[in-house]
Chains A and B, each alone.
Chain A
Amino acid sequence: MTAIKSGSNLERVLTAGHFAFTGECGPPKGANADHLREKFKYLKGNVDCVNMTDNQTAVVRMSSLAGCALMKAEGLEPNFQMVCRDRNRLAMMSDILGAYALGVRNMLCLSGDHQSFGNHPEAKNVHDIDSMQLIALVKKMRDEEKFLNGEEIDVAPKMFIGAACNPFADPFEFRVHRLATKIEAGADFIQTQCIFNMDKFRDFMKQVVDKGLHERCYILAGVTPMKNAGMANFMSKYVPGMDISESLIKRLKGVDKRDQAEEGIKIALEQIEAFKEMQGVAGVHLMAIEWEHKVPEIAERAGVLPRP
């Protein structure tokens, strides 16, 4: 994992052996670029790169590619998220080229939440290729400098390739194998689903380390600070693939409503401390959902500043 593949800041941080700290930013439900620029202020300098989500939860938003371009213009490093739900292979390859031309150097390859969860459930989905193949596609374009059909690319996109992993989905025993396939396909780094069940994640990481996967790919643990007990309840019930324990909800409910946000941040900070020590974990991916203004405080209190 030493030869430089993309030259992205995230790649530089990880290859130098630093504990990575990445952030996330959801584009607005509109063309409000100022709204995004406002969020960028809280992220700039506090994280190594920022994921720009792609119609997350299948709700229509400003395109992730445009969000990445706006981010670049403000001097932050984007991580361009791409889902297989909304694009066929033609649109994917052309957006990858466009992203690279705009200076994007990181990508996160995802299947995408099913459209039935979003605000246009009547939509047709694409799924021409799946997330595993999207990883392989970005790698082919980077390493072989070829399109999927074998044609040469005139200036190939050199992306640092990311993939997601949800250790909490079923069947649990298969999750490490699926991660191995993503690495085989070409993933350079992994950002996991939000982790709330630390015991299960420890189990998972043990399997990862036993298989030596952490030596072939950088694994960033996903952290989402809870704003209050209501958010934990909602995510537990309505967000697919979440493993939120009763004890976590109880801990949040156990404090006064006014103090629940602080309790949520405390939990996140405890998690980050645990991840710093956990074998095989190369960093943290902080998903402060519609809470970007808390990122500077969390980064400061987590002791990850200044960023390398």
Chain B
Amino acid sequence: MIVADRKSLEEILGMVADREKLLILGCKGCVTVCNVGGLKEAEVLASTLRIAQKKEGRPVEVSHRVLERQCDNEYVAGLADDVGNYDAVVSMACGVGPQFLSEMYPDQVFFPAVNTTFFGGAVQHGVWEERCAGCGACAIHLFGGLCPIARCAKSLLHGPCGGSANGICEVNKETACIWDAIVKKKMETGRLEDLVAVKPFKDWRTARDGGPRRSIREELVKGTL
């Protein structure tokens, strides 16, 4: 799923400083699962903003609600009768949400309340980790099911680099060296030879480097599915 982190209260307050009537808009998608932008978090942010602005001596009216998904026009359309009632809308969805909103409602201002960070999952309660870089050409099967593009700080295809020590990445003591894990897995399974050949140069056209991407499913476009 897409993982995000809430922006600091200071940053959000800075964005909405001159607005008096706000809507905090959560999303029931990924940001609900990673506990950053669902109904509960929208409610907490709304209340926090009210208190903070009251302290500043400029009370604001803050409402909150949640959409099924902000990345789906079918649900974004559900905001049509309400969106004009506010000075601004603060979206708690990933970076996709406020863009779908801005495209559908060009007269309204949408502020992002979260920083979208990565594609990943929870490794323990309250801790999420990156797993995928969305390069558009998955090859994790070549690396024991572990992705060096997303998980090696240098995206090496022939690691580990000289900075790997005791299974830890040189860049951050909290980060496991994914190449250490790949090598150990290959050694354990007797498949070390998989790693000794020089891999083909990666074609980055399928990644963001090829420009903004589109995914088209003809059968859905034509309505045959």
Contact = CB atoms under 8 A, between A and B. Distances in A.
A148 B201 contact: yes
A108 B199 CA distance: 20
A130 B154 contact: yes
A158 interface: no
Interface in A94-148: 111-114, 116-117, 125, 127-133, 136-137, 148
B184 interface: yes
A86 to B, nearest CB: 12
Contact of A127 (B155, B167, B177, B201): B155
Given A130-B155, A173-B187, A241-B170, A184 B198 contact: yes
A171 interface: yes
Given A184-B196, A185-B198, A169 B164 contact: yes
Nearest to A186: B198
A71 B220 CA distance: 63
B198 A132 contact: yes
A177 B192 contact: yes
Contacts, number: 101
Interface residues of B, number: 32
Contacts of B183: 171, 174
Interface residues of A, number: 38
A304 B183 CA distance: 40
Given A177-B196, A184-B197, A240-B163, A170 B158 contact: no
Contact of B180 (A128, A136, A170, A241): A170
Nearest to A112: B154
A87 to B, nearest CB: 13
Contact of A181 (B154, B158, B167, B171): B158
A243 B156 CA distance: 23
A111 B198 contact: no
Contacts of A169: 160-165
A136 B198 CA distance: 8
A153 to B, nearest CB: 17
B165 A181 contact: no
A203 B109 CA distance: 65
A5 interface: no
Contacts of B146: none
A132 B180 CA distance: 17
B187 A174 contact: yes
A177 B195 contact: yes
B165 A111 contact: no
B124 interface: no
Contacts of A84: 154
A136 B158 CA distance: 12
A178 B155 contact: no
A196 B171 CA distance: 22
A131 B152 CA distance: 14
Contact of A131 (B158, B164, B172, B204): B158
Interface string A154-179: 00000000001110111101100110
B125 interface: no
A12 interface: no
A85 interface: yes
Given A114-B170, A171-B180, A184-B196, A178 B165 contact: no
Nearest to B167: A170
Interface in B148-186: 153-167, 170-172, 177, 180, 183-184
A148 B200 CA distance: 11
B217 interface: no
A116 B161 contact: no
Contacts of A240: 162-163, 165, 170
12 contacts: A114-B163, A116-B153, A131-B158, A133-B158, A133-B201, A164-B162, A169-B160, A169-B161, A169-B162, A177-B195, A181-B198, A184-B196
The 7 closest A-B pairs by CB, nearest first: A166-B162, A240-B163, A132-B158, A240-B170, A241-B162, A127-B155, A169-B162
Given A84-B154, A171-B164, 18 more contacts: A89-B201, A114-B153, A116-B153, A130-B155, A131-B158, A133-B199, A137-B201, A165-B162, A169-B160, A169-B165, A170-B160, A171-B187, A174-B183, A181-B196, A181-B198, A193-B162, A241-B165, A241-B170
